[in-house]
Structure 1
Amino acid sequence: MSGETQTLAGTKVMVIDDSNTIRRSAEIFLVKAGCEVILAEDGFDALSKIADHQPDVIFVDIMMPRLDGYQTCALIKKNSKFKVTPVIMLSSKDGLFDRARGRMVGSDEYLTKPFTKESLLKTVSQYMAQRSAS
């Protein structure tokens, strides 16, 4: 077991994406690293699950029907209970505009899809390390 895996054991990670493929691949990578994974297929689905599960880190796709990633992130960050929870935007577009808009609604990071197992786990590790340091 690598050191990285141990630091992620028991970490609750939520993945919000309307793509079943993205949700499943993220789930496989994260579960193998010892994370507890909560999946949601859109913002509405996610908002009810966030209160129940209280994830440590949240990944949210930008392009989703009904409630997009920006709106979902803004609603998460407006809740005082989850204001400090890291929200990482997922997008297939690697644009400056998307990054800036993500920052405006309070996102902490931006990951371009398709993400690798390494980039996903590194991002979770980074935020868990920051949390334990503070």
Structure 2
Amino acid sequence: MTESNESGGLAGLRVMVIDDSKTIRRTAETLLKKEGCDVFTANDGFEALGKIAEVQPQVIFVDIMMPRLDGYQTCALIKSNQLFRNTPVIMLSSKDGLFDKARGRIVGSEQYLTKPFTRDELLEAVRRYAPAA
């Protein structure tokens, strides 16, 4: 365990990153692990749904544009599950459109991050929605 008070209490927080881009998954994973988070990744919604049930993440990042099951569908499925209804879902997208943000809200996402995100944006989103220890 890293002895860092700057982490803002993120040690041990389970975070899921769902994105078909290996670069985005790896970047988010690296940044979050440096803060002490336990990070789980999936490259699409189908893979993620099984993992979510298994690891029960406390915060979920999901890319909008993915093959098979897009981010909106994935978010809607997560939010329709009694167990994960209150799990914060943060949408990731390279598009910064009003329509995309609105659609993300409709399916239940808490926030919308535009890619490429900065370290500070990523950590601020996690801190905002991480359950209080």
For 1:109 and 1:6, the matched residues in 2 are separated by 19
Identity of aligned residues (%): 69
Partners of 1:83 and 1:52 lie apart in 2 by 16
The residue identity in structure 2 corresponding to 1:99 is K
Aligned CA RMSD, in angstroms, stands at: 1.2
Partner of residue 84, structure 1: 86
1:105-134: per-residue Cα shift (whole Å, max 9, x none)?
Answer: 000000000011111011101112xx328x
**Which segments of structure 1 move beyond 2 Å, counting only runs of 4 or more?**
1-4
The TM-score, its normalising length taken from structure 2, stands at 0.95
Match of 2:128 in 1: 126
* Structure 1 position 2, deviation (Å): 4.7
Structure 2, unpaired ranges of 5+: none
Q: Give TM-score, length-normalised by structure 1.
A: 0.94
Q: Who is 1:108 aligned against?
A: 110
Q: 2:13 is aligned with what amino acid? A: T
For 1:6 and 1:98, the matched residues in 2 are separated by: 30
Number of the residue aligned with 1:64: 66
* Cα contact 2:20–2:66 (8 A) shared by 1: yes
Taking a change above 3 Å as real, the CA distance of residues 46 and 70 of structure 1, as seen in their structure-2 partners, is same
Unaligned runs of 5+ in 1: none
Contact residue 8 and residue 127 of structure 2 kept, 8 A = no
Equivalent AA in structure 2 for residue 118 of structure 1:
D
**How many aligned residue pairs are there?**
131
More helix by share: 1
